């Protein structure tokens, strides 16, 4: 059974995670002005259709707003943390050109992304046991080949402290 809607691939996690653009920390708001009809606005409207979900997925703390049919020319506007504003003209451009341009001016570069990923890997040691939020495993009983959880399957008598103390008491 196929997915509903046109280009339903936009609604898959794999597509969202493949987003290129990760904004720098100073970018707070992104605004896209485009027109619904008109050829000049085609690039901007396809940018909104295809690339905005990817951008929002990769940058959950950036506010993205769309404005339709406000001005005759399509453009993008970014509001940075210092109060600076960046205006990007999108008239007559293709959606790939727009996204590459945006990545070039306001996106984190490949090296920065790789360095951040390394830092995250170093920070989280997979050998640690702890809460699911921070570590992979919580208890040794979850590992295959180790003693299973006594909550599910009772331990053999040799390992039970209660039984051992009882035997000691009866012997002596």
Partner 1 sequence: MQFTLFDTSSETFIMSVKSVSVHAKWIVGKVIGTKMQKTAKVRVTRLVLDQYLLKYYNKRKTYFAHDPLEQCTVGDVVLLKALPERRAKHVTHELAEIVYKVGNVIDPLTGKQVAGSLFRETLTDSMENPAGSLTEKLQELNISATSEILQKPSEV
Q: Is 75 in the site for partner 1 (CB under 8 A)?
A: yes
- How many residues touch partner 1 under the rule CB under 8 A: the total is 30
Sheet strands (E) in the chain: 27-34, 63-68, 75-80, 85-89
Q: 60: which strand partners? A: none
Distance CA 13, CA 146 (A): 34
Indicate which single residue of 20, 22, 24, 67 sits in contact with partner 1 (rule: CB under 8 A): 67
> Which pair of tokens denotes residue 29?
């708001």
> Which pair of tokens denotes residue 124?
């989280």
Residues 7-26 that bind partner 1 (CB under 8 A): 11-13, 16
Q: Is 73 in the site for partner 1 (CB under 8 A)?
A: yes
Q: Is 92 in the site for partner 1 (CB under 8 A)?
A: no
Q: Which one of the spans 34-42, 97-105, 129-137, 147-155 is the region binding partner 1 (CB under 8 A)?
A: 34-42
CA angle 139, 144, 145 (to 5 degrees): 105
Tell me the closest approach of the beta carbon of residue 170 to partner 1, in angstroms.
59
**DSSP-derived secondary structure letter, 46:** H
Q: Which one of the spans 65-73, 93-101, 141-149, 156-164 is the region binding partner 1 (CB under 8 A)?
A: 65-73
Q: 34: which strand partners? A: 68
Q: Which of 50, 95, 98 is nearest to 78 (CA)?
A: 98
Nearer to partner 1, 16 or 22 (CB): 16
Q: Return residues touching partner 1 (CB under 8 A).
A: 11-13, 16, 28-29, 31, 35, 37-38, 52-53, 56-57, 63-65, 67, 69-73, 75, 77, 79, 81, 83, 87, 89
């Amino acid at each position: 059974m196929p997915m509903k809607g046109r280009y339903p691939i936009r609604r898959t996690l794999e597509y969202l995670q493949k987003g290129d653009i990760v904004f720098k920390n100073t970018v707070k708001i992104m605004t896209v002005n485009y027109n619904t009809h008109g050829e000049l606005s085609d690039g901007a409207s396809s940018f909104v259709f295809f690339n905005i979900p990817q951008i929002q997925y990769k940058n959950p703390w950036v506010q993205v707003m769309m404005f339709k049919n406000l001005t005759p020319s399509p453009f993008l506007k970014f509001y940075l943390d210092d109060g600076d504003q960046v205006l990007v003209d999108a008239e007559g451009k293709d959606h790939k050109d727009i996204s590459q341009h945006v990545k070039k001016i306001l996106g984190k570069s490949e090296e920065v992304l790789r360095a951040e990923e390394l830092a995250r890997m170093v920070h989280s040691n997979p050998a640690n046991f702890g809460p699911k939020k921070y570590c992979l495993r919580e208890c040794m009983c979850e590992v295959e080949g180790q003693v299973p959880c006594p909550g599910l399957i009772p331990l053999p008598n040799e390992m039970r402290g209660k039984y051992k103390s009882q035997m000691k008491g009866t012997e002596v």
